[in-house]
């Protein structure tokens, strides 16, 4: 019997050693399987993400844009200083040029004439000659861009020339001024 036990003892050791190797191999195989599954999943996702299809086509369309509209300057006058009389310095009238638009406007010139609100030349009363009057811009506003809602100011002067003849018909006359800005 001792010899049978001896036989059994040796295979037991061999079996234990074989079991240890088999268990270790199973762990490696399970780890390798997990790695292979993970790698397969990653490659499948990456392949799926980079795979694409598309249609090629051409197309056309229409659209439109609308330009802004020109807005005129607004010109208002203030109080006058002085008096219109034959041969004197005349009457100075302050004026303001306003930009009522939503964007900047450029002021490059302003003119003043003896005319009504429509720009029609003034017709003085009989005996008073329009040629004896002069209207000029004596202090020009700043030329150039005026910001949206901005203003610039200037001064115009109206004089009456002393012609050496009776100009009584021009006394007490209101002289209309017409301003044009560009």
Residue 163 maps to a domain: yes
Q: How many CB atoms lie within 10 A of CB 51?
A: 7
Same domain, 165 and 87: yes
Calpha distance 152→142 (Å, rounded): 7
Residues of the domain holding 99: 74-181
Residues 15-51 have pLDDT tens digits of 555 555 555 555 556 667 777 676 666 666 655 555 5
Do 33 and 95 share a domain, yes or no?
Answer: no
**Is residue 56, in this structure, part of any structural domain at all?**
no
On whether residue 66 sits in a domain, the answer given is no
Does 85 share its domain with 149? Answer: yes
Does pTM top 0.85 for this prediction? no
- In terms of Cα–Cα distance, which of 128, 138, 137 is closest to 160? 128
Number of domain units in the chain: 2
84 and 174 fall within a common domain: yes
Q: Each residue of 48-69: pLDDT tens digit?
A: 555 556 677 777 877 888 777 7
């Amino acid at each position: 019997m001792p010899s049978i036990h001896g036989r059994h003892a040796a295979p037991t050791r061999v079996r234990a050693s074989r079991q240890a190797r088999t268990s270790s191999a199973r762990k490696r195989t399970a780890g390798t399987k997990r790695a292979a599954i993970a790698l397969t999943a990653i490659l499948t996702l990456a392949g799926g993400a980079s795979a694409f299809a598309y249609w090629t086509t051409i197309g056309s369309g229409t659209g439109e844009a609308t330009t802004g509209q020109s807005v005129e300057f607004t010109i208002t006058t203030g109080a006058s200083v002085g008096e219109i009389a034959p041969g004197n310095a005349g009457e100075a009238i302050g004026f303001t040029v306003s930009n009522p638009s939503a964007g900047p406007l450029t002021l490059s010139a302003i003119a003043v004439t003896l005319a009504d609100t429509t720009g029609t030349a003034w017709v003085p009363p009989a005996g008073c000659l329009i040629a004896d009057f002069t209207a000029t811009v004596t202090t020009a506003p700043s030329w150039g861009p005026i910001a949206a809602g901005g203003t610039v100011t200037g001064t115009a002067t109206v004089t009456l020339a002393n012609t050496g003849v009776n100009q009584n018909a021009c006394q007490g006359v209101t002289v209309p001024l017409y301003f044009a800005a560009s």
